[in-house]
A and B are shown apart, each in its own frame.
Chain A
Amino acid sequence: MTTDRRGAREPILQVKGLVKHFPLTRGVLFRKQVGAVRAVDGVDFDLYPGETLGVVGESGCGKSTVARVLMNLEPPTSGRVLYKGEDITRLSGPALKAVRRNIQMVFQDPYTSLNPRMTVGDIVGEPFDIHPEVAPRGDRRRRVRELLDVVGLNPEYVNRYPHQFSGGQRQRIGIARGLALNPEIIICDEPVSALDVSVQAQVVNLMERLQREFGLAYVFIAHDLSIVRHICDRVAVMYLGRIVETGGDAQIYEHPTHPYTQALLSAVPVPDPDARGGRDRILLTGDVPSPAAVPSGCRFRTRCWKAEPRCEERMPELAVPRAFRDSGTPAEHPSACHFAQERVRVLPGEEPVN
């Protein structure tokens, strides 16, 4: 699935060396920079048309900052975001507005992402007010009703206000707004983490259907590993502002080689009482270091059970580890660890692979 979608096609979005530091200043009158929160510290990935790239990691690892930089809501400290070869972080004015038509966003919290004082019709129709060339004035009402229909909402509800809808319905309104301009890429910043579990599945399935119908490419940011596996073709695991491992969903979920990914996956709950105790959970000690004081060398070394002096001295690059290079196994995918080792995931309900 991964290879046939990627094929020989050009990536639609390329992120190269993305860095976003938030300065820490001191002083009231004369501001002096005393440090920086290194929210994103060198992230590279490609997104191909029609695919879903999952970005996972724990809170504070820089996932949402990546989304905001991709949307040009924040300027990056350095690095480039290329949309079809054009660096969008340096655009402004009409050129930026034109690019925004093609990259849209679905927000995490459906309770604050919709203006409570606008009707649903106004919310979904606002993209047409901002980009009048997309739909002629007389056609907008019909387009809004179509969009509501596409996301499974009653088009009769255009005159209602967001508070009259449930969380799942609000997220559908947010998705309809994102679809209005026929974008090619939708950045989803934890689109289901604020929803009930029963509603999460509906929204995820809606997003999959829309991807098939409109050929959308998603950057799907989440911390729920199960949902990411369900929807994503490729997964990037982030830790403290850097991608530590990336690969196809089966490669990451069943053949993780980075210790952090292995620890993360071992924490996924298994709904099987018999499996209790039988799983070998990796319990990490300590907390995530502050992004304002990042450890030298490998960022994960302070919590890693494999850490050796070498990890402190040299930062491991995100590349296919030497042990798996040209091995042809699923473990052959980029992993930023000096001591990358495969650890086969035992899936619930499956026999252990020997």
Chain B
Amino acid sequence: MPEPSSAQDPAESVGNAGAGGTMDFAAEQAGSLTAPPPGEHLVPEGGTTTGKPRSLWSDAWHDLRRNPVFVVSALVIVFLVLISIWPKLIASGNPLACDINKSQDGPAPGHPFGFDLQGCDVYTRTVYGARASVTVGVCATAGAAILGSVLGGLAGFFGGWWDAVLSRISDVFFGIPIVLGGLVFLSVVTNTTVWPVIGFIVLLGWPQIARIARGAVMTAKQHDYVQAARALGAGNTRILLRHIAPNAVAPVIVVATIALGTYIALEATLSFLGVGLKPPTVSWGIDISTASTEIRDAPHMLLWPAGALSVTVLAFIMLGDAVRDALDPKLR
């Protein structure tokens, strides 16, 4: 990494005291401060390596690989994805094989996390619950982030009618209470998979991201470097992708990673109300909902799925944070 301090330009400290704003500025300055001829640099050599040219993305990746926060959170996420796809990797039991006699029992040999209200093994259910919860969290966040940042970004960039119409539409969605909307929307759906829930969360989640993206794009758009690119003849696509997007993505990343946790919790709420995921499906949300009423008698029932949810949300927030920092050259 080049050390920024060596970028100081020694010649720029040359003073010309009192010359500011004088009429004989020309006569005084012309002789003493002519620019150096080409080839003779103001900056000392050294401090940088002559490698291949780098870009923001290659620098960011180079940075991320050395960031322990990124490595740890990425490993946690990879692990979560693996057990979502193949829960049998670490859990041999059946999450639906329950023995009501063991209701709310504590840890026992072979059942390290104890048993829930129905006498099912909490460990197995926590492992199997990852699939539904991670799918809902990741897909809903990705959907809302993509839809929201594209629509909001375009509204902020082009303005005018498109912006006015989009802002009013997002106001309408903001006005729908999430739980009430969920009861109405999801009660008519008979499909028992996670997709209607994801669709509903995306539908109500995108306006939040769109507002953030719209504001970030409007801020980035005002900078002179956008005008400079336009003056060079750059088209809208290049300006959006090369100049606006990298400078507007940070707040969207932050809001989206925080929203991920909210969306998993929202799935839990909807499941609790009976309109989210239906019981044969195992999810952290369903388990947290049922356990929350028994927290005094059997805290372990709540602890494990809630802990798994917290670790997942934390991993995504840390990942988002690391990516955001890596995309800001000033923080390197």
Where the two chains meet, the residues of A that have a C-beta atom closer than 8 Å to any C-beta of B are 68, 71-73, 96-97, 100-101, 104-105, 107-109, 112-119, 121-122, 126-127, 129-131, 141, 149-150, 152-154, 156-161, 163-166, 168-169, 174, 177, 181, 196-202, 204-206, 209, 224-227, 229-230, 253, 268-271, 347-349
Question: Are B19 and A113 neighbours in the complex by a CB distance under 8 Å?
Answer: no
Listed by A's residue number, 28 A-B pairs whose Cβ atoms lie within 8 Å are A73-B227, A113-B224, A115-B229, A115-B242, A115-B246, A115-B247, A116-B247, A119-B53, A121-B54, A126-B229, A129-B238, A130-B229, A130-B233, A130-B238, A131-B233, A152-B36, A152-B40, A156-B47, A159-B59, A163-B4, A165-B7, A169-B12, A199-B12, A226-B20, A226-B21, A229-B26, A230-B30, A269-B22
Question: Are A201 and B29 neighbours in the complex by a CB distance under 8 Å?
Answer: yes
A72 to B231, CA, bound (A): 8
Q: 10 shortest A-B CB distances, which residue pairs?
A: A161-B329, A113-B224, A230-B26, A226-B25, A197-B20, A206-B35, A100-B233, A97-B233, A154-B43, A115-B225
**Chain B positions 1 through 40: 1 when the CB is less than 8 Å from some CB of chain A, otherwise 0:** 0101001110111111011111111100110011110111
| Minimal beta-carbon separation of B256 from chain A (angstroms) | 19
In the assembled complex, B89 has its CB within 8 A of some CB on chain A: no
A154 to B41, CA, bound (A): 6
Q: When the two chains form the complex, which single residue of A101, A119, A152, A163 contacts B56, counting CB atoms closer than 8 Å?
A: A119
Q: When the two chains form the complex, which single residue of A107, A129, A169, A271 contacts B224, counting CB atoms closer than 8 Å?
A: A107
In the assembled complex, B327 has its CB within 8 A of some CB on chain A: yes
Q: A163-B330, A229-B25, A269-B22 are in contact. Are A112 and B33 (CB under 8 A)?
A: no
Tell me the nearest residue of chain B to A98, going by C-beta.
B233
Residues of chain B with a CB closer than 8 A to A129's CB: 238
Question: Are A348 and B53 neighbours in the complex by a CB distance under 8 Å?
Answer: no
Q: When the two chains form the complex, which single residue of B13, B43, B233 contacts A157, counting CB atoms closer than 8 Å?
A: B43
A68 to B178, CA, bound (A): 47
Question: Are B232 and A126 neighbours in the complex by a CB distance under 8 Å?
Answer: yes
Query: What is the interface residue range for chain B against chain A?
Result: 35 or more
Question: Are B35 and A166 neighbours in the complex by a CB distance under 8 Å?
Answer: no
**Chain B positions 170 through 211: 1 when the CB is less than 8 Å from some CB of chain A, otherwise 0:** 000000000000000000000000000000000000000000
Question: Are A149 and B41 neighbours in the complex by a CB distance under 8 Å?
Answer: yes
Question: Are B231 and A71 neighbours in the complex by a CB distance under 8 Å?
Answer: yes
In the assembled complex, B50 has its CB within 8 A of some CB on chain A: yes
Residues of chain B with a CB closer than 8 A to A159's CB: 2, 48, 51, 53-54, 59
Question: Are B329 and A271 neighbours in the complex by a CB distance under 8 Å?
Answer: no
Q: When the two chains form the complex, which single residue of B4, B29, B227, B233 contacts A205, counting CB atoms closer than 8 Å?
A: B29
Residues of chain A with a CB closer than 8 A to B20's CB: 197, 200, 226, 269
Q: A209-B34, A271-B18 are in contact. Are A118 and B41 (CB under 8 A)?
A: no
Question: Are A113 and B228 neighbours in the complex by a CB distance under 8 Å?
Answer: yes
Q: A115-B247, A157-B43 are in contact. List 10 more A-B contacts (CB 8 A).
A: A104-B232, A107-B228, A115-B243, A119-B53, A126-B242, A150-B38, A154-B45, A159-B59, A205-B30, A270-B23
A98 to B25, CA, bound (A): 38
Question: Are B9 and A169 neighbours in the complex by a CB distance under 8 Å?
Answer: yes
In the assembled complex, B234 has its CB within 8 A of some CB on chain A: yes
Residues of chain A with a CB closer than 8 A to B23's CB: 225-226, 229, 253, 268, 270, 347-348
Q: A117-B328, A201-B19 are in contact. Are A164 and B2 (CB under 8 A)?
A: yes
Question: Are B232 and A130 neighbours in the complex by a CB distance under 8 Å?
Answer: yes
Across the A-B interface, how many residue pairs have beta carbons closer than 8 Å? 205
A327 to B225, CA, bound (A): 48
Residues of chain B with a CB closer than 8 A to A197's CB: 16, 19-20
| Minimal beta-carbon separation of A101 from chain B (angstroms) | 7
Question: Are B7 and A181 neighbours in the complex by a CB distance under 8 Å?
Answer: no
In the assembled complex, B88 has its CB within 8 A of some CB on chain A: no
Question: Are A107 and B227 neighbours in the complex by a CB distance under 8 Å?
Answer: yes
Residues of chain B with a CB closer than 8 A to A181's CB: 232
Question: Are A198 and B15 neighbours in the complex by a CB distance under 8 Å?
Answer: yes
Tell me the nearest residue of chain B to A105, going by C-beta.
B231
Question: Are B53 and A141 neighbours in the complex by a CB distance under 8 Å?
Answer: yes
Question: Are A113 and B225 neighbours in the complex by a CB distance under 8 Å?
Answer: yes
In the assembled complex, B273 has its CB within 8 A of some CB on chain A: no
Residues of chain A with a CB closer than 8 A to B230's CB: 73
Question: Are A121 and B12 neighbours in the complex by a CB distance under 8 Å?
Answer: no
- B residues 51-104 near A (Cβ < 8 Å) are 51, 53-56, 59
Q: A117-B327, A169-B7, A226-B23 are in contact. Are A104 and B16 (CB under 8 A)?
A: no
A74 to B152, CA, bound (A): 24
In the assembled complex, B42 has its CB within 8 A of some CB on chain A: yes
Question: Are B25 and A349 neighbours in the complex by a CB distance under 8 Å?
Answer: no
Question: Are B16 and A158 neighbours in the complex by a CB distance under 8 Å?
Answer: no
Residues of chain B with a CB closer than 8 A to A174's CB: 228
A135 to B20, CA, bound (A): 40
Question: Are A202 and B11 neighbours in the complex by a CB distance under 8 Å?
Answer: yes
Q: When the two chains form the complex, which single residue of A122, A154, A169, A201 contacts B33, counting CB atoms closer than 8 Å?
A: A201
A161 to B328, CA, bound (A): 10
Residues of chain B with a CB closer than 8 A to A201's CB: 16, 19, 25, 29, 33
A105 to B223, CA, bound (A): 15
| Minimal beta-carbon separation of A30 from chain B (angstroms) | 13
Residues of chain B with a CB closer than 8 A to A168's CB: 9, 12
